[in-house]
A and B are shown apart, each in its own frame.
Chain A
């Protein structure tokens, strides 16, 4: 790490002051911070629900909260974490901040649209919050029919409309990124010189634009059937409940890649920077992102192996699920190979990257278990599935998000975070995570169904371990929240390129000026060419 002396330069944080300058900003970097604040709020809200869920499950009888409350807790936990935290997490914060900087341009293609996306997101979020405050929703994040359309007595329409609205924010952000990547790359920045974070964000954006309309329409149909008894999904009204599942998963499987692809992009950046090596197999990693985006649309039926689709449909979906696992495997191997003969440092972001690779590998491998038809029949809708997707979404995406936040924090805030605390919390998160979710694989295979408020005695050991892990994990998440805030004021001043990284974002000051670059950079090298950094940083 290199340290720097204080230099008062105009930057995007100090350029203008006052609430209004933030709420009306068109600067992608400020909008990124608006998102950061909003999703952090939702993350901790979802976290509080998770804490109560884990406390309830400490003992077999449902004694802490009522069944109805428990159901609302896991529904809101899922809805908030998926739609209001994970989906916007990396794209809307780090992506918003970095896409223009990595491309060497002043802002996204449509700065006003970008601000509008944030407002739309906030409005959608407020709907969900309002629904939560006046009574909540108890359908699960999956909104399965006819439970959601004809039987639930909670605020389904309000919540569905909230999620529907946030969808537009996701679509607009995706659109903005796609146009920006196509039109606004700095001179010399060809497609194959792009950082891998851009490739994965681009692939994500394509999914957002193509997939989100489907969930939006599906949730609208749920609201219409519930409100006006249109017979679409409920068999009592002449509808088909399995149709809903097809529509829901047609979006929601690709959505899991909306959540994990950007994380893969972050990890490519981290692994390269902290081993000072070009990412091994750059083109394979780049195309793997595209392959995942495309194949991801063809596997939704693996969520429905016992739902009543035909045996042959299940076989096709099983086969295709294995196909989509290949590009994920390719990425893991390439990251590992990048380390070979590198110069590896153990800075905090790299610890998170290691954590990501380990946990994502386990999540992906258990995904291949689930794609195996005979195995899935037994474990579907048990804690095995819960463990699988938490390994990917929390073990993977959340680790990469935290790693990325640490990595770019000097650029974002102009301050360094305390390295000792940061390393400690990375370790706590890793241990707490495994203790929370590994036992869930075992209890899932033993037959513990998911979404159970009370459960038979024999599962208690695993639930106790899991709850213990969750408490450790909570500590691991609170520490960074505190020291990030602390560092805003007391952190050492950050140099422009503390990690000697290669990306264009490191070639401007920390924090960057409002227009990102004093002079538009010209790109003459491939991404991750560490031989040029030395000259730049020294010069």
Chain B
């Protein structure tokens, strides 16, 4: 048994330090309060212990000022907790613009990660030191939660929508990756490791996976294979909208509403095209529900993102990122799911 006591987990991101400082404030306030109450109780219990059965204590005055003081002072301290906590939460919700994108798909009971360069990993994630990483996450089945204690970062991974999380590792090493939302039988086996590597080492690691195709080019292949290209022609306008430069722009619908073309919008356009029909077009696009997996979808999205970007800025890591502030991490409402569900045994 490892018998060394430890009170703070490793700090491997900038946020980790901020959370620990907040934790120290919380612990100090709590300790002072509970110590004060415990000492008072102890003191009163001893000082005013019953000395005879016939004692009849007199009523003590109950000053209003006292009641006010012990309502308002704790509340003031709690406001600090609120503001401090909220400011860290905002920081967690706002990935920096130069963050590199990595995709995460959770399924019972493994984590699949995909780098834009094409590397795919299972229950592992390799990232470079000092570079902000933005995860776009979804689930193939139930709700999971991506948790790296050393980064103090956690966010639920839901089926049918994209959520995001980000962190900037500040320490090289191997760190735990846990699933924190109970997800069925092997929940506690849904664990893995995050490897934070020196940038040069990371480049080497990337190069080592030479057999992989970048997400954009796998996406392009899928785009052709699924015959999207027959309708969505990039050369001439026709019955179908041109997807070049679509990503991140507002799109006008037949009903007059406007939507931003983010990941969730594209996902829905592919799985459930009739939900939102672009103004000026007929509702003729077929649904690809059941034909594409969550990973395929991510590749298609990445390909559509790349359309219209100048080749050099198409360096995938700096793709345009929609402001993720409105919904912390959530890139859209529920849409239908594409991947086959596990064959269900008897329902009881």
Contacts and interface: CB of A to CB of B under 8 A. Distances in A.
Interface of A: 62, 67-68, 71, 138, 140, 142, 144, 146-147, 150-158, 226-227, 234-236, 238-242, 275-278, 280-281, 284, 305-311, 314-315, 318-319, 322, 325-326, 329-330, 332-334, 336-337, 339-346, 354, 357-358, 361-362, 365-366, 368-369, 371-378, 380-382, 442, 445-447, 449-458, 460-461, 464, 530-531, 534
Given A373-B86, A378-B19, A442-B7, 6 more contacts: A280-B60, A310-B330, A336-B41, A358-B34, A374-B86, A445-B23
A455 B180 CA distance: 12
Contacts of A354: 41, 45
Interface in B1-44: 1-9, 18-19, 22-23, 26, 29-30, 33-34, 37-38, 40-41, 44
Contacts of A447: 9, 147, 149-150, 176, 178
Contacts of B62: 280-281, 337
Contact of A371 (B8, B82, B88, B91): B82
Contacts of B336: 235-236, 238
Given A342-B44, A369-B30, A372-B84, A240 B60 contact: no
B325 interface: yes
A39 B335 CA distance: 43
B26 A446 contact: no
Contact of A382 (B67, B79, B180): B180
B286 interface: no
B74 to A, nearest CB: 5
A53 B30 CA distance: 30
Interface string B75-102: 1001101101111111111000000000
Contacts of A150: 142, 341, 344
A158 B41 CA distance: 47
B59 A277 contact: yes
A457 B2 CA distance: 7
A306 B141 contact: no
A311 B67 contact: no
Given A67-B186, A378-B149, A235 B159 contact: yes
B182 interface: yes
B45 A226 contact: no
A376 B182 contact: no
Interface stretch (B50-58, B119-127, B211-219, B301-309): B50-58
Contact of B26 (A71, A336, A368, A456): A368
Contact of A336 (B44, B108, B327): B44
Contact of B1 (A240, A345, A460): A460
B184 A147 contact: yes
Interface in B322-348: 325-330, 333-337, 341-342, 344-348
A33 to B, nearest CB: 31
B56 A530 contact: yes
B22 A372 contact: yes
Contact of B89 (A152, A236, A377, A534): A377
B66 interface: yes
A374 B45 contact: no
B136 interface: no
A372 B6 CA distance: 23
B185 A68 contact: yes
A257 B19 CA distance: 29
Nearest to B149: A447
A332 B37 contact: yes
B60 A339 contact: no
B34 A365 contact: yes
Nearest to B74: A329
Interface of B: 1-9, 18-19, 22-23, 26, 29-30, 33-34, 37-38, 40-41, 44-45, 48-51, 55-60, 62, 66-67, 70-71, 74-75, 78-79, 81-82, 84-93, 108, 141-143, 145, 147, 149-150, 152-156, 158-161, 163, 176, 178-189, 191, 325-330, 333-337, 341-342, 344-348
Nearest to A350: B45
A333 B66 CA distance: 10
B78 A368 contact: yes
A341 B79 CA distance: 33
Contacts of B160: 235-236, 241
A314 B59 CA distance: 45
Contacts of A357: 37, 41
Contact of B79 (A305, A314, A322, A460): A322
Contacts of B70: 329-330, 333
Contacts of A239: 334
A306 B143 CA distance: 12
Max chain B C-beta neighbours (<10 A), residue from A226, A281, A343: A343
B56 A343 contact: yes
A153 B19 contact: no
A124 B318 CA distance: 57
Nearest to B38: A358
B85 A140 contact: no
15 contacts: A67-B189, A71-B182, A276-B57, A277-B59, A318-B85, A371-B82, A373-B88, A374-B86, A375-B88, A377-B19, A378-B149, A380-B180, A445-B23, A447-B176, A461-B5
Contacts of A235: 158-161, 334-337
A310 B341 CA distance: 28
A322 B81 contact: yes
